[in-house]
Amino acid sequence: MYSVNQLLNKKIIVSLFASTLGLASASCGTQAEMKIKLAGSKPDSKSADVTADDELAGLALTSAACSNANNLNAITVSPSGSLFINDIAVVNDSSAKGRGPLSFAFLMREILELNPNPGTTPKDLAIEDAAIKSLLDQFVVSSPVNTFVAPSRTNTKRTISAAWQTVTGTDDKAYLSLERAPFKLLAITNRLDIVKKGKTSVTAGEGRFIFGFTGPSAATIILEYNLPIGGASSSGMTMNQWAKDWQGLKQFLVDTNSSKPGVQPSATIGALQFANKTGYLKALAALTGKFTKRDAAVSGQIKQAAISQVRTNEFIQSPWELRELQRVRTGGTVALKLTTVKNNPDERFSQGTSGFSNWIKSNVSCRADTTSPNDCAYTTSDGLLPASFLNGTTPVSLLGASSLNPGSLWFPSDRSQKNQFVALNTCSGCHRAETNTNFVHVSIPRGTTQASQPSGFLRSDLNRRTVNLKNLVCLAAANSGELNLSADGSSDLRLGTSNMVH
């Protein structure tokens, strides 16, 4: 562990979590100033902010050795092998089907703590059937969420239900089965650039599985997991280890991009060239298992799933809508329940209101030397938009129960820098008008022999993520110390900005 003085002596740079203006046209994500104090500094010493205006996004920590461009460029990162994994050899592999470790059935059974190898008895089938129907019911929830009621998506539920294949139990009743879910794997993404600080712990970012609906309508479901570290990780993972393991997947690939590092604008993302395909798939399954298994995270003395949230994005019925679900335990039953869409105000605020406009002016901070919304940040304690705000002395609910996406700009009559920042951080803004994106950031539908491609925005953001991973790996190699990301006061880390999109 390094003290702040040691960091300064080593010329370690901590960049702001700001979007890379030269690489990404807009920012869809949480933004805040990043402050960090590494363990080892004396309790009575003053905490120092070590920042740099180099506009590198994410957790870019660079030692003197890593600040040397030649040293950094010597680190090879495969964007499509470690950051956005969509090769058909992966998404079509047997490990992504049936009960395989990358399959929808395996992942959902781990999240919901269902029998991983259910039999064919009515009891086994009925338990899984009930869990699936509870999931589908989240499209027609009538109870308020943060005082808002999400519009019923009856046709969405009906369409997905009709496409979900059934199995027949011994009592001649048909049951829905996770192994026959109408979803196929589109991509696996590594989000080490969105380090998150909670009330009691910090994670190394997220790992995500993106699935597409196999029916005739447009829909995706995204499983977004925390990457636990330290005592919160049942496998003892650290920030350094996550970075090294994700980057280390390249050892199973043929290096074809060393002369052209990063993502080429016109290149097809995917199409991996394997030096050892079997080794890659086994290593990927082992790595993802460290955050997808039901006991991947530790909370107190309890081991549990590391799932952070599940998001749906669908246009099965109009208007296009995004929802967010969180894992909830009731007695011995675990379910996914509708919750607020983070950083997304209810649509009634999209045209601007005097109360919300005043809140934005007081709670968003922007650099004085730029007019870009990418250089702004929420000044809230966690760097996120709150569930409610005070309009004078009156509390007003803010975050919506779902995110409807009519395709129009937020705050059309006042496109101030701060307002644009808020708009870019909404799901509906990021997935449409604010980034010139058409509905999804990962293309659907995916044919059997096709790889789903990233949107233009996501494609450009992969360059930033590549640089971020190089910095993390370089730091891990150059220093024996481990970054302290604890939330107990021994570190002073606040959320920084990054692009939350996939």
pLDDT of residue 210: 98
Q: Which helix (H) or strand (E) holds 13?
A: strand 13-14
Going from N- to C-terminal start, the domains of the chain cover 348-435
DSSP 8-state assignment for residue 417: H
Write down the pLDDT at residue 502. 62
The pLDDT of residue 350: 85
First CA to last CA across the chain, in angstroms?
Answer: 31
- The three-state DSSP-derived secondary structure of 134-191 is HHHHHHCCCCCECCECCCCCHHHHHHHHHHCCEEECCCCCEEECHHHCCEEEEEEEEE
Q: What is the pTM of this model?
A: 0.84
Looking at this protein, which amino acid is placed at residue 289? G
pLDDT at 195: 80
CA distance 496 to 19: 10
Q: Say if residue 85 is exposed, middle or buried (CB neighbours under 10 Å; 0-12, 13-18, 19+).
A: buried
Q: Classify burial at 134, counting beta carbons within 10 Å of its beta carbon; exposed 0-12, middle 13-18, buried 19 or more.
A: middle
- What pLDDT sits at residue 490? 39
CA quadruple 458, 461, 463, 465: dihedral sign? negative
Distances (CA, A) of 99 to 69, 96, 134, 177, 310: 44, 8, 21, 11, 20
Quote the pLDDT of residue 56. 26
Specify the residue for token string 């009731």.
330
Per-residue pLDDT of the chain (502 residues; tens, 9 = 90+): 332 223 223 333 333 233 222 222 333 543 332 333 322 222 222 222 222 222 223 344 445 567 666 777 788 899 999 999 999 999 999 999 999 999 999 999 999 999 999 888 888 899 999 999 999 999 999 999 999 999 999 999 999 999 999 887 767 788 999 999 999 999 999 999 888 766 566 789 999 999 999 988 999 999 999 999 988 999 999 989 999 999 999 999 986 554 344 444 445 667 899 999 999 999 999 999 999 999 999 988 899 999 999 999 999 999 889 999 999 999 989 999 999 999 899 988 988 888 999 999 999 999 888 888 878 888 988 788 999 999 999 999 999 999 987 677 878 788 889 988 888 888 776 666 666 667 788 888 899 998 999 888 888 889 888 988 988 888 877 665 555 554 444 332 333 344 555 6
Place of tokens 């890379």: 20
CA distance 102 to 288: 8
Question: Which pLDDT score, from 0 to 100, does residue 197 have?
Answer: 66
Within 10 angstroms of residue 131's Cβ, the number of other Cβ atoms is: 21
